[in-house]
Amino acid sequence: MADGQAGETIRVQPRESGFGAEVTGVDLSRPLPAAALAAIRDAFARHAVLWFPDQPLSLDELEAFTLQMGPFGDDPFIKPMPGRPNVLELRRAPDEKAPNFGGGWHSDWSFQPAPPSATILRSEVTPPVGGDTLFVDAARAYDDLSPTMKAMLAPLRAIHSAGRPYGANGLFARETEKRTMEIISSPEADKTHPHPLVRTHPVTGRKALFVSPTYTVGVEGLTDMEADAVLGFLYKHLLQETYRLRHTWKPGMVLMWDNRCTMHFAEGGYDGHLRVMHRTTVAGEVPV
């Protein structure tokens, strides 16, 4: 709890598990006082996923809030909004037949040398059905592993690549249905980058599993069969219901999540309805 603007008090209401929290009593459309910003940063470190209801921010205000959390991250392979190189419009028209964007478990841009620390998403048009965003607590999932498994995973480095979705022969390059969003398939996406399979959060010091079915393509030093066995177990472990959070959107809501200790999945189920979201990322650090 901390003072917000005009004497308001920020209220952080976490879920029972501690993973995810609702934040009220703050107006994100204005510069945050130091105490309010510190309270939000603290809540973010504690709960990894924060949602702020009733925050119908303009694009200028969304960008300004993002910069209070840190410098913009780099968003490759998706054409940004005209005149706004740091804002992606996630738009799906009512008549689109292509699969909804983000419909695979992942941590945003984990294939980059320094993946984004946070993603911020603001709802512009929410459909009356579907469109939930699902999250997995990769820190608690790591905590629950046996000491033997933790010791085995400790030295491993996972290989990340954007090739499966964004490569020259990736999923989006092979699409035949029209899509409103402009995806940029590129040979650049086929490059690989290794990161620790278990990364340490730079703020909390907690360890978390840092792999995903979308962007992790192997493990250094393991054969494909060995890597498939290790990763297959970890995905089955991560995706247990006990580690999940389901976020249901309302108009004018801001959601912020920590890519360093979560995976997420954009659910569909809203065919025939318009859905429009605006997204920014906050730059991160090299995983250790």
67-79 burial, b at 16+ Cβ within 10 Å, e below that, comes to eebeebbebebbe
Q: Is residue 54 part of a domain?
A: yes
pLDDT > 70? residue 7 = no
Alpha carbons 253 and 251: distance in angstroms, whole number: 6
Q: Is residue 287 part of a domain?
A: no
Domain total of the chain: 1
**Whole-Å CA distances, 16 to 24, 191, 249:** 17, 40, 20
CATH assignment of the domain containing 204: 3.60.130.10
> Taking a C-beta distance cutoff of 8 angstroms, is the pair 20, 49 a contact?
yes
Q: Is residue 261 part of a domain?
A: yes
Percent of the chain at pLDDT exceeding 70: 97
Secondary structure string (H, E, C) spanning 230-267 = HHHHHHHHHCCHHHEEEECCCCCCEEEEECCCEEEEEC
Alpha carbons 1 and 35: distance in angstroms, whole number: 9
Q: Is residue 44 part of a domain?
A: yes
pLDDT > 90? residue 266 = yes
pLDDT > 80? residue 72 = yes
Q: Is residue 189 part of a domain?
A: yes
Residue range 151-161, pLDDT digits in tens: 999 999 999 99
pLDDT > 80? residue 274 = yes
> Taking a C-beta distance cutoff of 8 angstroms, is the pair 276, 120 a contact?
no
Q: What is the pLDDT of residue 270?
A: 96
pLDDT > 70? residue 37 = yes
Q: What is the pLDDT of residue 6?
A: 47
Q: Is residue 288 part of a domain?
A: no
Average pLDDT of every residue of the chain: 96
Strand partners, 119: 257, 281
Distance of CA 35 to the CA centre of its chain: 26
Question: 3-class SS at 125?
Answer: strand
Q: Is residue 40 part of a domain?
A: yes
> Taking a C-beta distance cutoff of 8 angstroms, is the pair 269, 104 a contact?
no
pLDDT > 80? residue 127 = yes
Q: What is the pLDDT of residue 8?
A: 64
Q: What is the pTM of this model?
A: 0.95
Structure tokens that stand for 122 in this block: 């603001």
Average pLDDT on 80-100 reads 96
pLDDT > 80? residue 103 = yes
The 10 Å Cβ neighbour count of residue 216 is 24
Percent of the chain at pLDDT exceeding 90: 94
Average pLDDT on 124-150 reads 98
pLDDT > 60? residue 249 = yes
pLDDT > 80? residue 218 = yes
Q: What is the pLDDT of residue 2?
A: 56
Q: What is the pLDDT of residue 5?
A: 53
Query: At a CB cut-off of 8 Å and minimum separation 6, what does 243 contact?
Result: 19, 136, 137, 138, 140, 141
Among the residue ranges 50-64, 167-181, 253-267, the one predicted with the least confidence is 167-181
Query: Domain range spanning residue 248?
Result: 2-282
Q: What confidence tier does 210 reach under pLDDT thresholds 50, 70, 90?
A: very high
Q: Which of 164, 227, 228 is nearest to 190 (CA)?
A: 164
Q: Is residue 19 part of a domain?
A: yes
